[in-house]
Amino acid sequence: MIPFFNIKAENAPYAKKFTEELSLFLESGQYILGDAVTNFERQFAAFCGTDYCVGTSNGLDALRLIFEGYKSLGLIAEGDEVLVAAHTYIASVLAVVQANLTPVFVEPEDGSFGMDINEAQRLTSSKVKACLVVHLYGELVDVEAFQNFAQQHNLLLIEDAAQAHGAVNQKGIKAGALGDAAAFSFYPTKNIGALGDAGAVTTHDHNLERIIRQLQNYGSTKKNQHDLLGFNMRLDSLQARFLSSKLEVYPNQLKRRQEIAKRYLNEVNNPKLSLPKYLGDGSHVFHLFVVRVKDRKQFTNFLTRHNIGSLIHYPIPPHKQKSLKDFNNLSLPITELYHKEVVSIPLYPSLADEKITSIIEILNTY
């Protein structure tokens, strides 16, 4: 059996380093925040090319803190509208709704997974104050187009970069540094994965960074003094140590992901499968390799019979979830079609070459 993802194999190379970091963690006595978190924040800000990074408890909280931070700074207000990708994981939408903002769902481009800039233009009104783009599956949206669009309409441009660690545009600017602020997730299966929940906010804006640090720590900048209605959304210091260990070698891991993706794209030749677009540059980091197929059930059953793991990201679009019942009546045909057709196949650095060859051969016989 070729598993969809092998988390034990992915973490095995770090076992000795993780054990050392655990010992240092125990000896430090700093179990909340402290030097480990500060060091990782500096490293990840340098990696992304931003002035600031704030470690958070997870990716959803990172997004939520961005919106709450802008509310505290008076740049958006409750009830304002936020353009958000309709084809995404529900966390993108939950952050908007939980901040008492109103999501405006924007369809993806037909043939691509990224938000359609023309649809975003069409749906923009005086009520829209921000645009939340999602670099879904690890692929950058057309960032320059959205930067111009946000500037034209005086919108905050926020990146959901939860799946896009290290993606870089043609100008050499990385995800996390392309908008006003960005949210990352370090969920264990992400390209840079912790051993538990973890996330981060990156930004060039010192005022936003300052207010997010306050909001994530009970609204406090001074012990027992709480000036804002804050949260407990801090990055765990042990996870920060693990993440620093992984960040050091991530460029090699990313290169391996792109090598595997190129093999799939060059060697899979089956008209029944729609493969993802890839320019061959750094704009896609392949957190997931997602194909589209008309009869998904038949295809996943075929993979199972041939001992190949797969997953569906994601079977139900956000606007059709019971938790977002106010939006269940929306008709978003491209999004709904994609959610019926997408299938993720195995792609991760520890996947052996001979297994990749087997996957390709089997895909070509479907």
Model confidence over 232-265: pLDDT tens digits? 999 999 999 999 999 999 999 999 999 999 999 9
CB distance 319 to 335 below 8 Å = yes
Mean pLDDT of 334-354: 97
Contact 103, 93 (CB under 8 A): yes
* Three-state SS at 133: strand
Residue 228 confidence (pLDDT): 93
| Rounded Cα gap, residues 112 and 276, in angstroms | 8
pLDDT for position 111: 77
Distance CA 350, CA 207 (A): 41
pLDDT of 71-109, one tens digit each? 999 999 999 999 999 999 999 999 999 999 999 999 999
- Cβ pair 53, 62 in contact under 8 A: no
Is the pLDDT at 38 greater than 90? The verdict is yes
Mean pLDDT, residues 333-359: 97
Strand partners, 350: none
Q: ∠80-82-84 over CA atoms, to 5°?
A: 160
* pLDDT averaged over every residue in the chain: 97
**What pLDDT shows up at residue 110?**
80
**Structural domains of the chain, with CATH:** 7-107+114-247 (3.40.640.10), 250-365 (3.90.1150.10)
Residue 97 CA to residue 79 CA, distance in Å, equals 9
- Reference 307, options 226, 362, 365; nearest CA is 362
Q: How many CB atoms lie within 10 A of CB 168?
A: 21
Burial bucket for residue 191 (CB in 10 Å: 0-12, 13-18, 19+):
buried
CB 45 within 8 Å of CB 245 = no
8 Å CB contact between 135 and 163: yes
Q: State yes or no: pLDDT of 178 exceeds 90.
A: yes
- List C-alpha distances in Å: 237 to 25, 60, 224, 340: 8, 18, 21, 40
